[in-house]
Chain A
Amino acid sequence: MHPVLAIAAGQAPEPQAATDAAGTVFDAGDVIIKHVANGEHPLIHLPTLWGIDFSVTKHVFMLWFVAAIVFTTVTVLVRRFLAQPRLVPSLPMNFLEAGVEFIRDDVVLPNVGKKWLTAWTPLLLTFFAFILTANAIGLVPIFDVLGLLDHYVLHTPENSFLQHLIHGGTTATGNFNVTAGLAIVTFMAIIVAGTKAHGFIGHWKNLVPGGLPWLLYLLMVPLEILSMFVRPFALTMRLAANMTGGHIALLVMLSFVFIVAGLAGSWIAGVGVGLVVSVPLAAALSGLEIIVVLVQAYVFTLLSAVFIGMAIHSHH
């Protein structure tokens, strides 16, 4: 059984996880990578069309799950608020309104300007809500709890949907393919924003400033085209690496317990190390992770707003 779940269940890890005697050694790297990556078995097998395997893996499932949560929460809150005869916000609606006003007034408005505010606020709000929720779900160990439930209570067969569901990491935005998808949306949004503000030719002409000697153009045009692609790439890697790195650091802290137990040969040493070193450090790291979750969602939204604003106001 997953050694972390054993500790979480309040019992000693099984002997095979603690000593070499039973034959299997705790392989920290393997456990960590399996806990953060996409999961080896797809949840729903779909056919391979045109060379792309469309099977639903764990991160795809988390994408849909997060989208459903964000959609239902926001829609239900706002519909219920607007259906009242006198508009009095309830407590969750207050939070939602504070968040929306924060993004609209402090992130979108200074960068995009009043003229295009209503055009670009929905996209940036969607980015913020989706990325915040997707990041935060990685901190909630709900699928590990489901795994415990499955192991002790339900005993589903080996290849069931539930068994495949509990393997792999739940942070969809820790997968660089997911964040690449979001960054591609930003890439398209930059081009669309520049086109709507200055016309199709105008947007591309605004990439380089006018009136320079032609030798400088030879340098600047490839540089600007390169930077056009590097910015979404940096957005991708920033979000994915921040999310994955935090989880890996947390798992390394918790793995000390099992590594020490394996070295010392008894589980008491492991539990001792856990109580004194691992669990406090892991708690502190989780607190830091909460900050990182909020900041990374804000940074993605802010940078998208800045790039869109740069495409709109590029005639200065």
Chain B
Amino acid sequence: MILTYAGAAIGMGLAVIGAGIGIGRLASGTAEGIARQPSAAPQITVATNLSLFLLEGVAILGLVFCLVIVFLIKS
């Protein structure tokens, strides 16, 4: 039983680490792009928005499946 909770907790942590790294790289790319070409800021923002939300959605999916493990697996 402990292993179930430990597995779910480790899974959640890894999902959040992945999201953090991914969104950090996206943000750094965006900031650099806007710094090089401030007049292109709206286009760069729009191009970043979509990937940002998709990545966040993936992280939330991971968290939700870990929650499913905790609440719905009867041992």
Q: Which residues of A contact B (CB under 8 A)?
A: 110, 234-235, 237-238, 241-242, 245, 299, 302-303, 306
Residues of A close to B61: CB separation below 8 A: 234, 237-238
Query: A249: shortest Cβ distance to chain B, in Å?
Result: 12
**Cβ of B63 < 8 Å from any Cβ of A?**
yes
Residues of B close to A302: CB separation below 8 A: 49-50, 53
Query: A292: shortest Cβ distance to chain B, in Å?
Result: 11
Q: Which of A110, A245, A299 has the most CB of B within 10 A?
A: A299
Q: Assuming the A-B contacts A234-B57, A234-B58, are A241 and B50 also in contact, with contact meaning beta carbons closer than 8 angstroms in the complex?
A: no
Q: Looking at chain A's contact residues, is the secondary structure mostly helix, strand, loop, or mixed?
A: helix
Minimal Cβ-Cβ distance residue in B for A240: B64
12 contacts between A and B (CB under 8 A): A110-B46, A234-B54, A234-B58, A234-B61, A237-B60, A237-B61, A238-B53, A241-B60, A241-B63, A245-B63, A302-B49, A306-B50
Query: A255: shortest Cβ distance to chain B, in Å?
Result: 18
By Cβ-Cβ distance, the 3 closest A-B pairs, closest first, are: A238-B57, A241-B60, A234-B57
Residues of B close to A237: CB separation below 8 A: 57, 60-61, 64
Extra inter-chain contacts (6) besides given A234-B54, A299-B53, A303-B54, CB under 8 Å = A110-B46, A234-B57, A235-B57, A237-B64, A241-B60, A302-B53
Minimal Cβ-Cβ distance residue in A for B61: A237
| Contact between chains at B46 and A238 (CB < 8 Å) | no
Minimal Cβ-Cβ distance residue in A for B65: A237
B60-72 contact mask (Cβ, 8 Å, vs A): 1 or 0? 1101100000000
